[in-house]
Structure 1
Amino acid sequence: MTLFAESPDTVSTARSVVSSTLADWGLDHLVFEAKVVVSELVGNVINHAVPDRELARPGGQRRIEVITRRWPKWLFIGVGDEDSSPPTYPAGEPFGPEWAVNLPEALLPNNGRGLQLVHRLVDALWWTPQKSGGKVVYCRFDLGPSEGKP
């Protein structure tokens, strides 16, 4: 599915289509997590992606590709954009929840928290550069034995 970052309903459209797709595939129990993941990844493109020079179009809208694939043992969701820069993910986890209670917000990381959330909801998270420019951030949900049957 191709969406555009400048459209006001981009995130809600992505969530809706992914929800419908998972329901059609009998994966209703993953809808909540998938909606959170898609919201975060599409939101990252809207708020942070800057198209590579060769992909930028003066006055053009920024393209977002939302990919869903189901294999017997896995569900893959990918969100592609036109920016080749790696996603920002803070190294390590410097704060546990009990530490953050008494710390000022200024000490918490300014970026990458959304990808940390995504990483906790999925079984795997990675990104790949695209040959023509841009990147895709992928996540994988492992399916149980009964879910893998068509």
Structure 2
Amino acid sequence: MTAQTGRSPAPVEDRSIAQLVQDLSDQMRRLVRDELRLATAELKAKGRRAGVGAGVTGAAGVLALLGGATLVAAAVLALALVLPGWAAALIIGGFLVLVGGIALLVGGSQLKAAIPPLPREAVEGMAKDMQVIREGSRRHGRA
């Protein structure tokens, strides 16, 4: 007896159409269930990646804001000792924009890697499975 169906394995030629249809139904159910598990796992992975990208992007914005508020005051005052105040503010502001832009690029690349949130592997696997089923049914239909 097989563990899956509870029936003793018989050659395909000795089985009735009803038994073959039942086996096909069982196998299709198992296949769909497995593909859904794969899709779920893939969506969870993409969700985690999107979360990381969004977190890094948000952190970049907060860090740029806090860094700008603190360093602008301190650095501008320090540079104002040797340069005119406007030049000191321009140098420090340009540096903060550059650092914020780099952080934004890193976070954006993480978000792009998670989009679109489709389970591509599961969809491709299901398409391949359906193709194999079609080819198998054509071969058995001719015999």
User: Could you say which TM-score interval applies, normalised by the shorter chain?
Assistant: under 0.3
- The TM-score, its normalising length taken from structure 1, stands at 0.25
| Larger helix proportion of the pair | 2
- Larger relative contact order (CA 8 Å, sep ≥ 6): 2
| Larger strand proportion of the pair | 1
| Structure number with bigger Rg | 2
